[in-house]
Amino acid sequence: MVKHLRSAPDTAGLTEIHRTAYRPWGGYSSVLSGERFQVKRLFVKPGKKLSLQKHHHRAEHWIVVRGTAEVSVDGTVTTLSENQSIYLPLGCVHRLANPGKIELELIEVQTGSYLGEDDIIRIEDEFGRA
């Protein structure tokens, strides 16, 4: 089956990864990536938030799986619950926070010309990375 998927033209460029990276706010696992997309599972500890940031080469779509997400996009704050989602256009200034008492879990779908972790322009960060 794997040999067939690797040789089929429509799936040959896909990569499945299940590595988990831990950060002060929680972490993420890369689930699937292709030429112009990447899917990650993010988990954010209660009371923690990610950097206020933007990207030059990618847009993102966040889908809440569990918990409550507080999302800031270009200064507008939105609260999302389970099964709700938000689109983050390329270049927007955004931040994800978990205001709840349980771990926030979401799926992040990235699309764009470059999806490397070095395409994060941190504007503000409570962990001293900006």
pLDDT tens string 22-32: 999 999 999 99
In a domain, residue 6? The reply is: no
Q: How far is CA 103 from the centre of its chain?
A: 15
In a domain, residue 109? The reply is: yes
In a domain, residue 58? The reply is: yes
**Tokens representing 39?**
């899917």
The tally of domains found in the chain comes to 1
* DSSP summary character for residue 6: H
Could you tell me the residue range of the domain that residue 79 belongs to? Answer: 17-124
Three-class SS state of 5: helix
What φ, ψ does residue 50 adopt, rounded to 5°? -85, 175
Residue 78 CA to residue 113 CA, distance in Å, equals 27
In a domain, residue 8? The reply is: no
> CA dist 98 to 37, 43, 44, 118, Å?
25, 9, 6, 24
In a domain, residue 5? The reply is: no
pTM of the model: 0.82
CATH number at residue 49: 2.60.120.10
pLDDT tens string 51-70: 999 999 999 999 999 999 99
pLDDT tens string 42-53: 999 999 999 999
In a domain, residue 118? The reply is: yes
